[in-house]
Amino acid sequence: MARSSSDPVSRTGENRLVQLLTRGLPQSARTLVGPGDDCAVLRGPDKSRLTLFKTDCLIQGIHFTGDTDAARVGWKALCRAISDIAAMGGQPHETLVTLALPCSTLTSWVQRLYSGIKKAARRFGCGIAGGETSSAPDGAPVMISIAMLGSVERKLLTLRSGGKPGDLLCVTGRLGGSLAGRHLDFSPRLAEARWLVQHARPTAMMDLSDGLAKDLPRLADASGIGFSIDPSLLPLHPGCTPAQALGDGEDYELLFTLPPRRMAAVEKKWRAAFPRIRLTCIGRLLPDKNDRTPLAGGWEHFAG
DSSP letters spanning 93-136: EEEEEEEEEETTS-HHHHHHHHHHHHHHHHHHT-EEEEEEEEEE
pTM of the model: 0.94
C-beta of residue 211 within 8 angstroms of C-beta of residue 170: no
Mapping DSSP to helix (H, G, I), strand (E, B) and coil, where does residue 215 land? helix
pLDDT value of residue 4: 59
C-beta of residue 258 within 8 angstroms of C-beta of residue 198: no
For residue 171, the one-letter residue type is V
Mapping DSSP to helix (H, G, I), strand (E, B) and coil, where does residue 234 land? coil
Q: Could you count the other beta carbons within 10 Å of the beta carbon of residue 271?
A: 13
Q: What is the CA radius of gyration of the chain?
A: 19
Q: Going edge to edge, which strands form the sheet with 40-43?
A: 31-33, 40-43, 49-59, 143-153, 91-102, 127-136
Show pLDDT as tens, one digit a residue, over the chain (304 residues).
456 567 888 888 887 888 888 888 899 999 999 998 999 999 998 999 999 999 999 999 999 999 999 999 999 999 999 999 999 999 999 999 999 999 999 999 999 999 999 999 999 999 999 999 999 999 999 999 999 999 999 999 999 999 999 999 999 999 999 989 999 999 999 999 999 999 999 999 999 999 999 999 999 999 999 999 999 999 999 999 999 999 999 999 999 999 999 999 999 999 999 999 999 999 999 999 999 999 988 877 777 5
Select from 3.20.20.150, 3.40.1190.20, 3.90.650.10, 3.40.30.10 the CATH code of 160-286.
Answer: 3.90.650.10
pLDDT digits (tens, 9 = 90+) for 52-70: 999 999 999 999 999 999 9
pLDDT value of residue 84: 98
Distance CA 72, CA 248 (A): 19
What is the helix (H) or strand (E) element at residue 288, kind and residue range?
none
CATH number of 29-156: 3.30.1330.10
For residue 105, the one-letter residue type is T
pLDDT value of residue 241: 96
Distance CA 146, CA 288 (A): 37
The number of residues in the chain equals 304
Residue 282: closest CA among 233, 236, 228: 233
pLDDT value of residue 123: 98
Distance CA 250, CA 244 (A): 11
Sketch the domain layout of the chain as residue ranges.
29-156, 160-286
Instruction: Work out whether the CA dihedral 215, 220, 166, 265 comes out positive or negative.
Output: negative
Shared fold status for 29-156 and 160-286: no
pLDDT value of residue 15: 79
Distance CA 75, CA 120 (A): 5
C-beta of residue 249 within 8 angstroms of C-beta of residue 178: yes
CA dihedral (102, 103, 108, 113) in degrees, to 10, reads: 30
